[in-house]
Chains A and B, each alone.
Chain A
């Protein structure tokens, strides 16, 4: 039995997919979810073979939801209209359903997916690539979504004091404490607005608005002191870079 989860904030949209799926005796809808939060929980609980995922949803969108799952299941995206997402799908040759879609179009998508599924070619790497690309979308680049235990937290980028490399993770320091996200520093350097954030060290990115002063204990070492009192080391190349950005 192929286990399916439907994630869409519009109940009727789920009704339609469920109805279309009735023609497939080998597929079973194990859960329907109203938003990404429910989606994350359901995916972890049921470990589905396939999810139907809407992009525009409350609080966190479909891409952000996928970002929170370490091993995302294979996905068929469903969306009404989303210029950015469509471009990304085309670029990565990912199949998607444009609402409203016909039964024929739906069947084709299922056939295609089943072939890949049989050949064990589920495309989690493409999914991950799309999710990374989506992080630069204007809407998403304004916030960072993280998961600590079962709690999902949305951090507006303005609330970030600085980022610190931590093995395979990046530690995000905010006024409410620090949070880990499984990403690279390079990833954040690309996603965050270069006018607001500067990578000042191999292991540090800081928000310019948070800096109060720069301390230089000696000619070799320089530190940025933040409003929170935290001291962030500046590397040999990071120091002149920061000075140039600040215009001092």
Chain B
């Protein structure tokens, strides 16, 4: 935290600025005809207390920045601080120089002036602080917007790739080719499924959020095609709470995760496998769990997220600015990928 003040080189102009005010205050007191020590005491006390208030505000604003509708509170705060500072300074100086009647009288006479000075200074400092954060925030928002644009491009690219996912597409066509001879009805059905699936991946980008129900339907098409390809070896279970079906989530966010689970499961074992997709709602999150079996002896899942999962994680980060929405864990021979979607 302190690095923000020191590293950003804000600290030097800040100190310089207060040093100037320190001199001005001292000069004013000398000008009013009081001795040097009074001038020094006054200057140091005023300047240091205002500078400290400024620093305190800097850190307070770091964790809490008033929104436009709350500026009223900020003004109240500035007023309260100005009053407190005026009373505090007058009391401290009167006490310190209590034997100098001329000076204490002066102090009591000028309190409105002191209040105005404090009020203006604190207002100014708080405005400065606010601006510093405002520009910083602006920069972050801009950065995220650029990343978001990039994401749209990436998503488009990955959709294209999806659409042309060579292994999946050609093997599906090969299966259809095999079905045509013996089971023409089934082949027609599979052509329909494949078409619907491909159409789904071509959806317009504007509809970035879709309901869970739509997303699961799309997923089911994919799973059904894979089941035709792999026959009895592949079993799937999709369980979803009824209440969750209308919740919105990013389009095609589940697809790569399930695809990864299928690849991982089917190519890492020779047995029959079950891919499970479970959706629950917990504490304002849609929790989607995808599990697949694997062979811990030979697979050694890559640390952290696993294989094709990084793109899904990246998308979640760009959409929600959070890195903790996807987790991958391996226990014994089950690999679990969990996605959390904040319910809006």
Contacts and interface: CB of A to CB of B under 8 A. Distances in A.
Contact of B179 (A12, A58, A80): A12
B230 to A, nearest CB: 6
A134 B132 CA distance: 58
Contacts of B167: 56, 80-81
Interface string B247-279: 000000000000000000011111000000000
A240 interface: no
A198 B300 CA distance: 23
Interface string B267-307: 11110000000000000000000000001011010000000
A154 interface: yes
Interface stretch (A13-21, A40-48, A215-223): A13-21
Given A15-B182, A143-B298, A158-B300, 11 more contacts: A10-B229, A12-B175, A12-B178, A12-B229, A16-B174, A16-B177, A56-B167, A57-B267, A58-B269, A59-B268, A99-B170
A58 B233 CA distance: 11
Interface string B186-201: 0000000000000000
Interface in A31-77: 34-35, 37, 56-59
A10 B172 CA distance: 10
B170 A81 contact: yes
For the residues of B in contact with A, the DSSP-based class is helix
Given A19-B181, A59-B267, A13 B171 contact: yes
Interface string B325-340: 0000000000000000
Contacts of A13: 171, 174-175, 178
Nearest to B229: A10
Interface string B160-172: 0000001100110
B167 to A, nearest CB: 5
B231 interface: yes
A99 B173 contact: yes
Contacts of A34: 233, 270
Most A C-beta atoms less than 10 A away, residue of B178, B267, B300: B178
Interface of B: 166-167, 170-171, 173-179, 181-182, 228-231, 233, 266-270, 295, 297-298, 300
Interface residues of A, number: 25
B171 A80 contact: yes
B174 A58 contact: no
B179 to A, nearest CB: 7
A244 B229 CA distance: 51
A37 B230 CA distance: 17
Contacts of A11: 230-231
A15 B229 CA distance: 12
Contacts of B228: 12
Given A9-B230, A11-B231, A58-B269, A16 B178 contact: yes
Nearest to B230: A10
A79 B219 CA distance: 25
Nearest to B298: A154
Interface string A133-161: 00000000001000000000010101000
A166 to B, nearest CB: 24
B270 A37 contact: yes
9 contacts: A9-B230, A10-B171, A10-B174, A12-B229, A13-B174, A80-B170, A81-B170, A100-B173, A100-B176
A87 to B, nearest CB: 15
B1 to A, nearest CB: 39
Given A58-B269, A80-B170, A99-B173, A12 B231 contact: yes
A16 B298 CA distance: 32
Contacts of B177: 16, 100
A45 B170 CA distance: 32
A58 B231 contact: no
B270 A59 contact: yes
Nearest to B164: A81
B318 to A, nearest CB: 28
Nearest to B179: A12
Contacts of A143: 298
A54 B52 CA distance: 74
A11 B183 CA distance: 14
A81 B165 CA distance: 10
Nearest to B166: A81
Given A12-B175, A100-B170, A58 B229 contact: no
